[in-house]
Structure 1
């Protein structure tokens, strides 16, 4: 995706005052992190568990009672900063921690919706976020709450007060680096509990990497570059090279080659590996960088003990369409032909849904989850795409003027079959619920030269719908049978994450402003509520004082209105906003 073509005003740091009697975090432990998927009284990880199934074991709100769901309270993020709100909240000891646009973090009383404190990062002028001023969530550990900022910093705050304990620079924002993802907290044997982050900024020729820091001090423990030819570090010393130098990159193109890890990662306590996706290679013009360009547009498994690369799987080798491979890799147990496989699944920007052996990255299966894919004819037995070379944007040096290569219509668009909005896996139905979009793009290549801090694309594009009645499509996918079980079509693109529950429900939001609840088995809409602005964030659910609650951030924005081309024109009237909504069952309705 591209650069936001505007300079953003610097933010202002404001610390709110804690009010008397508010519940405060007593401290999150390794055991809390590891139990997050089954402990319904907390949400202390991004994804309702380190594996990010986004599955709640709660059943009070179910297919029978969901019709009685009503708002409990709504909290306004305030100010004039009404931009895309993509954060997933975390909840501990009666306090909700939610990030807002422009790198803000709020602590809210979960019972009343009253603000406990607010922290606004002081953003410098000249930050360069490509795809709106979003933040996707915070992390909790011990007595601290952590989040990253648009100027590529990471902060640790006191959970009780919001005061800064430590903060570190991830990288130089003037070179195009930023950060938007929720950090990942991982327990290790060698170095205790670590906070693991990636980097954003792939459209500026930055180099992707994953790195881990000490949760108490912020000191760097290890770093793993995503591009071959670059060397990792551990405890301040160089370790191994990622891949083999110049095996799939020519010359020194890899030094500005992209591969940003901008969506964050997942962790599998079973195999004890961290999984991160990597973004597009830079520049977009693939004629300038022959070869597979590893490990861009890939999924990587990393040993969190030392940052060593365990395996990689490239979904789009020699990517020429901006099909980032950053989408979440979700570990799950798959029973097939009477055998249980330690699998992992990912719905890629390129339009294909993949299942891999998570122990070694070996390909198991793939299927298209969006319609009319043009760039590839399918996926071969090794998991490699079968390219339709006529659908690769043409080499501009072969054109008459040398400035614009042959234009093609590629499906999906560069915003992907799925983008930042996380899917969910139901431990009950054994289905994945994937928020997807049906669209394509006119795309051509142009000459481009790397310049620090400037957009590094070499492409022009315009996104267009491929169906008259819908763009968004929520799909229930059976990973064993490799088929779509049901589909819900939405007029506008879907950009919100998904939650599924043991009550047989699936929740997501849409740009039209609705939070919707579906029957997980057949996709029937059982309930919906309009929050007054588009929803582009993942819902969560937890138990508070014996009641099941559902929470979601609301606020239209993100990449779609910025880069949606012709598609964006069709829903330009959606109101922006910034708020957090919590829902519960109406009194005396929980058992009816």
Structure 2
């Protein structure tokens, strides 16, 4: 037996022995296989396509009632607020981020802290929608996460020591960063946050080993991209859909991060609202005809070449956006009933879209929330058919010049679905979408851009549509847009979903309940009270022959800060900060 074969055999044997040496570094192949592997969770979304589906079947509809706590870990201290993180699991360790840009390594068997990193944020950070962090990324021997002062940090997996720390943008201008990074072919790909401050959205790719920039791609037309330290190409065409100099502060923040479609080798990022919200101001003096007032590429999905940062395609969900309907929501690859490769995305504007994966072309769209007012439908050309009388009025035409006509719009600016990730099951063919049924009084106001100051040009108050519920977990058939079942919740849903081959859908509620539903019918099968509202993202994995499930609990996020009348309905909820981990004991798996 030659030495190469001996080494390979030793490696295989070593991985199967208790107490063996630590595993090799995380590779591109590991990340590519994350959606099908069951012993690790290496990526945000449980796979870079963000399907949040586990092939594990140990835990199922019959035995989920036997799911019990294994351990709980407190994020501790006074730094609570919203906990929107998704944990990662690798080599016997859980990695979880928390509010105020912190990260912990936790022993997977005992729940004991191994190390903690605190970003030590400067004074004057400008987070829009709570001090949350949505997760990290693993590659090589490093773990990467972003901070509220708009930086990306690489830490050693074993020790938490800083490998490198790079600036994404200037936090004093309103930039921040809250999303989990995305790693593709050795590049750490990040977006940015700060759309309410007149910043410019951008996607950046860095060398994972050194942190050095490889390319940048702004999301607003007129701005120049870069490749290997030099100007590359302009985004769009200068002043094609933006008048004057308004593109310079055009918004379009890429604040939720992106997905990766390996079949087409495409990064897919969403761009947020254009700035300011006042659509009349953004298009003053410009005829709104054709696509002149679209304000590209805000409120859009962008297909990007991961090697160069060039835009391969775009699809704009809300042209001439005027209700804060960000276009950042996740874009999830799937295969439809006829074998076509498609993307599914549930937009803040209340419509569920199906796009072609090759070129982002529109296939069809259907409403997934009730009583939408801003548009009659999405036309066959993929553009909305507006109800123009449901656009907030132009303040310059008001008698006092201070407040445009107020209208009641559905959904509210927090969206039919906001950031909270949906999941997709290849087994049922359904998307499981956390949504909310609410509307808003909204009006436009005069506004002038000032660096580092809010740049809205609008006022608003959110109101629930129905007396008995706001949150609604929906199972959507992407082939037809039909809603197969709906699970109603009194307060808004603001956390992610996960589904499994065992026929289960997991999610949490602001009331603190972590729930498992029947993926086929929506029937509630199990629930556990965590003590604080859940706005985190569940995961599951296999460990020593037992299936585990974990979620972060800790109420916060945008709803209590921006929710108007809805916020008053949930102001009794307690903050918190706990990682809850559950398991199905072997002896109860067959019950």
Maintained 8 Å contact 1:106/1:115: yes
Match for 1:335 among 327, 334, 337? 337
1: CA distance between counterparts of 2:445 and 2:480? Answer: 42
Query: Residues of 2 paired with 1:80 and 1:98: CA distance?
Result: 17
> Which residue of the other structure, out of 254, 258, 271, is the alignment partner of 1:261?
254
Cα distance in 1 for partners of 2:387, 2:200 equals 28
Greater than 6 Å deviation, 4+ residue runs = none
Distance 2:410 2:20 in 1: 51
Deviations 1:334-374 (A, max 9, x none): 123xxx21100100000000000011111101000000000
The answer to whether residue 243 in structure 2 is matched with residue 250 in structure 1 is: yes
Answer yes or no: is the 8 Å Cα contact 2:545–2:586 preserved in 1.
no
Q: Which residue of 1 aligns with 2:15?
A: none
Equivalent position SS for 1:108: strand
d(CA) in 1 for partners of 2:407 and 2:557?
26
RMSD of aligned C-alpha atoms?
Answer: 1.0
Distance 1:22 1:477 in 2: 45
Provide the TM-score with structure 2 as the length reference: 0.95
**Matched position secondary structure for 1:343:** strand
8 Å contact from structure 1 (residues 196, 210) kept in 2: yes
Alignment of 1:100-179 (within 5 A): 100-179=98-177
CA contact (8 A) 1:66 1:585 kept: yes
Contact 1:331/1:343 (8 A) holds in 2:
yes
Paired with 2:523 and 2:92, the residues of 1 have a C-alpha distance of: 33
Q: Can you give the 5+ residue segments of structure 2 that lack an aligned partner in the other structure? A: 1-18, 284-292
Match of 1:292 in 2: 294
What is the match of residue 576 of structure 1? 575
Which structure 2 residues correspond to residues 347-386 of structure 1 after superposition, within 5 A? 347-386=346-385
**Do the aligned residues in 2 keep the contact of 1:75 with 1:579 (CA within 8 Å)?**
yes
2:247 counterpart SS class:
helix
Matches of 2:430 and 2:449, distance apart in 1:
43
Residue 437 in 1 paired to residue 436 in 2?
yes
Structure 2 residue aligned with 1:203 = 196
Q: Which whole-Å CA distance do the structure 1 matches of 2:86 and 2:103 have between them?
A: 12
Give distance in 2, aligned partners of 1:232 and 1:334.
Answer: 35
SS at match of 1:562: helix
SS of residue matched to 1:335: coil
Structure 1 residues 227-254: Cα deviation after superposition (integer angstroms, max 9, x where no partner): 1111111001111111111110001101
- SS of 2:588 mapped into structure 1: coil
Match of 1:41 in 2: 39
Please report how far the alpha carbon of residue 22 of structure 1 lies from its aligned counterpart in structure 2 after TM superposition: 11
TM-superposed CA distance for 1:24, in Å, is: 5.8
1:326 CA drift (Å): 0.2
User: Post-superposition shift, 1:587?
Assistant: 5.2
Q: Give TM-score, length-normalised by structure 1.
A: 0.94
Q: Is the 8 A contact 1:24 1:94 kept in 2?
A: no
Note if contact 1:226-1:296 (Cα within 8 Å) is conserved in structure 2.
yes
| Unpaired segments ≥5 residues, structure 1 | 1-20, 188-192
**C-alpha displacement at 1:584, in angstroms?**
0.6
In structure 1, what is the equivalent of residue 315 of structure 2?
Answer: 313
Could you say if the C-alpha distance between residues 283 and 169 of structure 1 is closer, same or farther in structure 2, counting changes exceeding 3 Å?
same
Contact 2:508/2:515 (CA < 8 Å) preserved in 1?
yes
Instruction: Provide the residue aligned with 1:523 in structure 2.
Output: 522
**Partner of 1:496 in structure 2?**
495
Q: 202, 207, 222: which one pairs with 1:229?
A: 222
Partner of 2:587, secondary structure, is: coil
Alpha carbons 1:228, 1:243 under 8 Å: kept: yes
Query: In the alignment, what sits opposite 1:301?
Result: 303
Cα distance in structure 2, aligned partners of 1:258 and 1:22: 50
In the TM superposition, 1:384-403 aligns within 5 A as: 384-403=383-402
Q: CA–CA distance in 1 between the matches of 2:249 and 2:266?
A: 27
Q: Distance in 2 between matches of 1:103 and 1:405?
A: 39
| TM alignment of 1:177-216, pairs within 5 A | 177-187=175-185, 193-216=186-209
Alignment partners' CA distance in 2, 1:420 and 1:46? 13
How far did 1:566 drift? 0.3
Which residue number in structure 2 is paired with residue 469 of structure 1?
468
Name the CA distance, whole Å, in 2 between partners of 1:25 and 1:346: 36
Please say if 1:220 is aligned against 2:222: no
Given that 1:24 and 1:160 are in contact with CA atoms closer than 8 Å, whether structure 2 keeps it comes out as: no
1:91 aligns with 2:84: no
Q: 1:346 maps to which residue?
A: 345
Which residue of structure 2 aligns with residue 3 of structure 1? none
